[in-house]
Chains A and B, each alone.
Chain A
Amino acid sequence: MSSLVRAEGVSKKFGSFIAVDNVSFEIESGKILGLIGPNGAGKTTLLKALLGLTDCEGQLSVMGLDPFRQRKKLMQNICFIADVAVLPRWIRVRQLLDYVEAIHPNFSRQRAEELLRQTKIMSTSKVKELSKGMVTQLHLSIIMAIDAKLLVLDEPTLGLDILFRKEFYANLLNDYFDEERTILVTTHQVEEIENLLTDIMFINEGKIILNSSMDSLADTYVEVAASGDDADKARGLGPIAENKMFGKSVMLFKGVNREHLQVYGELRTPSVADIFVAKVKGARK
Chain B
Amino acid sequence: MINHQLALIKRELWEHRSIWITPVVIAIIVTLSNLSALMLAGDFAQHLDAAIFGEQKLAGDSERKAVLTAFFVGSSGLFLFALAILTVFYALDSLYAERKDKSILFWRSLPVTDAEAVISKLATAIIVIPAIAIAAILATHLINLAMTSVWVSSKGGDAGFLIWGSVPLLDNWLAAIIVIYAVAVWMSPFLGWFMFVSAFTKRSPLLMAFMPLVLVPLLERIFLSSNPFGRAVWGRFASIPLFSGTDVQTFFDEGHVIDEEKVSLLAQIDLQKFLMSIDTWVGIVICSILIAGAVYVRRYRDES
Chain A residues with a Cβ under 8 A of chain B: 14, 44-45, 48, 51, 53-55, 71-76, 79-83, 85-92, 95, 98-100, 102-105, 139
Contacts and interface: CB of A to CB of B under 8 A. Distances in A.
A51 B303 CA distance: 14
Contacts of A90: 14-15
Interface string B108-125: 111111000000000000
B300 A75 contact: no
A71 B109 CA distance: 9
Contacts of A91: 14-15
Contacts of A79: 109
Those 9 A-B pairs whose CB atoms lie nearest each other, nearest first? A102-B7, A88-B103, A75-B111, A82-B105, A86-B106, A86-B105, A76-B111, A72-B113, A72-B111
Of the candidates A51, A72, A73, A100, the one having the most CB atoms from chain B within 10 angstroms of its own CB is: A72
A16 B183 CA distance: 48
Given A72-B112, A103-B111, A104-B110, A86 B7 contact: no
B270 interface: no
Interface in B1-53: 3-4, 6-8, 10-11, 14-15
B102 interface: yes
B101 interface: yes
Contacts of A53: 108, 302-303
Contacts of B15: 88, 90-91
Nearest to A14: B302
Contact of A75 (B98, B101, B110): B110
Given A95-B14, A99-B7, A102-B7, A88 B109 contact: no
Given A71-B108, A72-B113, A102-B3, 10 more contacts: A53-B303, A72-B111, A72-B112, A75-B109, A76-B111, A80-B109, A82-B106, A86-B104, A95-B11, A99-B11
A274 to B, nearest CB: 30
A89 B101 contact: yes
A82 B109 contact: yes
Contacts of A72: 111-113
B101 A103 contact: no
A134 to B, nearest CB: 16
Contacts of B3: 102
19 contacts: A14-B302, A45-B304, A54-B302, A72-B112, A72-B113, A75-B109, A75-B111, A82-B109, A83-B105, A86-B105, A88-B101, A88-B103, A89-B101, A90-B14, A90-B15, A95-B11, A102-B10, A103-B110, A105-B111
Contacts of A45: 304
Contacts of B111: 72-76, 103-105
A53 B108 CA distance: 8
B103 A55 contact: no
Of the candidates A51, A76, A88, A98, the one having the most CB atoms from chain B within 10 angstroms of its own CB is: A88
A99 B15 CA distance: 12
B98 A88 contact: yes
B10 A99 contact: yes
A144 to B, nearest CB: 14
Contacts of B107: 88
Contacts of A99: 7, 10-11
Interface in B277-304: 300, 302-304
A72 to B, nearest CB: 5
Interface string B77-120: 00000000000000000000010011111111111110000000
Contacts of B304: 44-45, 48
A200 to B, nearest CB: 24
B106 to A, nearest CB: 4
B113 A71 contact: yes
A86 B302 contact: no
A124 to B, nearest CB: 13
B110 A86 contact: no
B110 to A, nearest CB: 5
Contacts of B105: 82-83, 86
